[in-house]
Amino acid sequence: MKLKVLVAAGDGIGPEVTGEAERILRSVAEWGGHDFEFRKELIGGVAIKAHGTPLPPATLDAALESDAVLLGAVGGNEFNSLPPDRRPEAGLLQIRQALGGFANLRPAFAHPALAANSPLRPEVIDGADIIFVRELLGGLYFGEPRQWNRETNSAWNTMRYTRDEVARVARIAFQLAQKRRKKLTSVDKANVLEVSQLWRTTVTEVAKDFPDVTLEHQYVDAMSMHLMNTPRTYDVVLTENLFGDILSDESAVITGSLGMLPSATIGGQVNLYEPVHGSAPDIAGKGIANPLGAILTAAMLLRHSANLEQDAQAIETAVRKVLEQGYRTADLARSEKDKKMVLSTQAMGKQVHEALNEISDKRQAMHAV
């Protein structure tokens, strides 16, 4: 397997966590006999400082020439005074648009070893395993017209979707559901919004092509409550852009930390992978950031861009084993027992690397029998 990966580490803790994810990918390439080529370019605040723009042409060109893009995080308080179209976050929106990925996959899962980290009761989250499919290129974030008119003290945004935009992301959600528990929950606000009425109608039409998947509809306000009360009842959750942003972040309480959650943006020319957490500038450079979200993001990269399902599962198993052994980063250490097992960013990455090597050794031994 040959794979060209652009690593755009970005700002804050981005370089620290993507460094650990890259090391894991290199290890997979080594023991799997794969040819992974890594290239590094700037994005976000570091790109603004070096080139005056959050997405330099060299970064975009490298992304379009790659098979996958591994992103760290963008943003920092020092850039808040810039106009919105010149801030680090603008570079993220621009690269998403340029790569064309319209489906953002964001898992939310309960690790038994981290049950105490969630504010929800263990019996509520036990076995929860959800994947959000968030439409990423439409809705309020991209709809026109949009404006803040300071003279009239008024502002407006436009929520806009076409049938084709809804249908294409719905198909990805149904295809994922076919590979999982064959249940899909579509989230909207069809009792109020015309856009949601189009959304619900279109998803219902697409469902006819997937008779093996059970479809249910939920209003977003009800879903926000059900997600906390009965998360185990959900499998694949399909949402538009704004609702997906909010609900998938809310679901982080199931896992206990945003630092654990990966994501993938697929459907375009090149897939984009990034952990859900932000740049966390307050802890950048301290070596205490949780790299597990980035490492699990690397697993999604192998699954969706390299079709290396076994290798992706091996990474996920390695992460689970490390947590079961009691190792924690600072954000995961809630009890006195946890605090005795706190590791730095690099040390946690090393533990996952060692667990992955053990899995590799066992796999090779089985092949040799």
Q: Determine whether 183 is an active site residue.
A: no
User: Which pLDDT value is given to residue 360?
Assistant: 85
The pLDDT tens digits of the residues spanning 76-110 come to: 999 989 998 899 999 998 999 899 999 999 999 99
Which has more pLDDT, 93 or 192?
192
Amino acid at the residue 135:
E
For the question of whether the overall pTM of this predicted structure is more than 0.75, the answer is: yes
Catalytic residue among 61, 221, 286, 361: 221
Flag whether pLDDT at 336 surpasses 90. Answer: no
pLDDT score for 68: 98
Catalytic, 282? Answer no
Give yes or no for residue 252 having a pLDDT over 90: no
Q: What is the pLDDT of residue 369?
A: 53
Which of 84-88, 167-171, 294-298, 304-308 is predicted least confidently? 84-88
Strands (E), 208-274: 214-219, 236-239, 264-266, 271-273
Confidence label for 178 from pLDDT (cuts 50, 70 and 90): very high
Distance of CA 122 to the CA centre of its chain: 24
- Taking Cα atoms as reference points, which of 173, 144, 174 lies closest to residue 157? 144
Q: How many CA atoms does the CB half-sphere of 171 hold within 13 Å?
A: 9
What Å distances lie between residue 183 and 130, 176, 211, 296, 362, CA to CA?
A: 11, 9, 11, 24, 34
212 is catalytic: no
Q: For position 338, what pLDDT does the model report? A: 79
Q: What pLDDT score does 31 carry? A: 86
pLDDT at 366: 62
The whole-chain average pLDDT of the chain stands at 94
What is the rounded end-to-end Cα distance, in angstroms, of the chain?
A: 25
189 catalytic? Reply is yes
pLDDT of residue 363: 73
pLDDT at 367: 61
- Rounded mean pLDDT of 64-76? 97
**pLDDT attached to residue 181:** 97
**Quick one: DSSP state of residue 366?**
H
pLDDT-based confidence at 335, cuts 50/70/90? confident
DSSP per residue, 70-92? EEEE---GGGTTS-GGGSHHHHH
- pLDDT over 70 (residue 173): yes
Instruction: Give 365's pLDDT tier (boundaries 50, 70, 90).
Output: low
Q: In this predicted structure, what is the pLDDT of residue 147?
A: 94
Band (pLDDT 50/70/90 cuts) for residue 257 is confident
Helix axes 309-324, 345-368, angle to 10 degrees: 120
pLDDT for 258 equals: 85
Q: Are 29 and 298 in contact (CB under 8 A)?
A: no
The answer, yes or no, to whether the previous bond of 281 is cis (omega within 30 of 0) is no
| Catalytic choice (245, 311, 331, 338) | 245
Examine the residue annotation and report whether 221 is marked as an active-site residue of this protein. Answer: yes
* Catalytic choice (11, 161, 188, 189): 189
pLDDT at 180 over 90: yes
Handedness of CA 313, 315, 316, 318 (dihedral sign): positive
Q: What is the mean pLDDT of residues 307-326?
A: 96
Res. 368: pLDDT tops 70 = no
